[in-house]
Amino acid sequence: MRTIMIKKRPRNLPGLTIVELMITMVIMSIVGLAIGAVIVDGQSSWNHMYDSINSDVVTDGYVAIKKFDVVMRNASREKILLDDAGSWVEIYYYASDSSTVVDRYARFYVADGDLNLEYGQLEPRVTLGIDTVCGNVTACTFSNVGQSTQMILTLDNGKQANTIVSSAVTHNQ
């Protein structure tokens, strides 16, 4: 008969047991998922803020403010016409620096959801052009506030709404 000898394993071998490896993997998976969730949430928030800041409502608002300011600052103080309801404003200006008579006009008004700027010659009255300043306009009112003319413009593209208030003082005599 044969005898089989079983060697005893030494107890102080370096290394990890399978249980220790599994526990480590579970802990690392939880940490990895938590870090991934934070990264995804941060990216989602960044995309939302980027879309809000660079939406057409915001950029149209900046364009409208700039155009209103430039046109009003070039206007003559002699005459500014406002609709009784505040739906349009018409200003008069000099065609060039050498002009001695106010000979041009510009009119801001809203039509079909767009803020438009019509400009032209006064005598004889001829429209030289109509520019669309911005779209997505849901409301726009003009008023005189002291020495300035004020525009309150509300833009809405269905996802984001923005109300802009701009005032400008005419600088020419």
Mean pLDDT in residue range 61-82:
89
The domain boundary, picked from 54, 82, 103, lies at: 54
Same domain? For 78 and 144 the reply is yes
Q: Residue 123 pLDDT > 90, yes or no?
A: no
Q: Residue 117 pLDDT > 70, yes or no?
A: yes
Q: Residue 8 pLDDT > 90, yes or no?
A: no
Same domain? For 102 and 34 the reply is no
Same domain? For 45 and 63 the reply is no
Residue 93 burial class via C-beta count within 10 angstroms: exposed 0-12, middle 13-18, buried 19 and up? buried
For residue 10, whether the previous peptide bond is cis, meaning omega lies within 30 degrees of 0, is no
User: What Rg, from alpha-carbon coordinates, does the chain have?
Assistant: 35
Range of the structural domain that residue 39 is part of = 18-54
pLDDT tens string 126-141: 999 999 999 999 999 9
Instruction: Tell which wins on pLDDT, 100 or 6.
Output: 100
User: Sign of the C-alpha dihedral, residues 70, 72, 73, 79?
Assistant: positive
pTM above 0.95, yes or no: no
- Tally of domains in the chain: 2
Pairing of strands 104-111, 88-93: antiparallel
Mean pLDDT in residue range 137-166:
91
105, containing H or E segment: strand 104-111
Share of the chain above pLDDT 70, in %: 95
Cβ-contact 143, 43 below 8 angstroms = no
Q: Report if residue 43 sits inside a domain.
A: yes
Same domain? For 98 and 44 the reply is no
Same domain? For 28 and 69 the reply is no
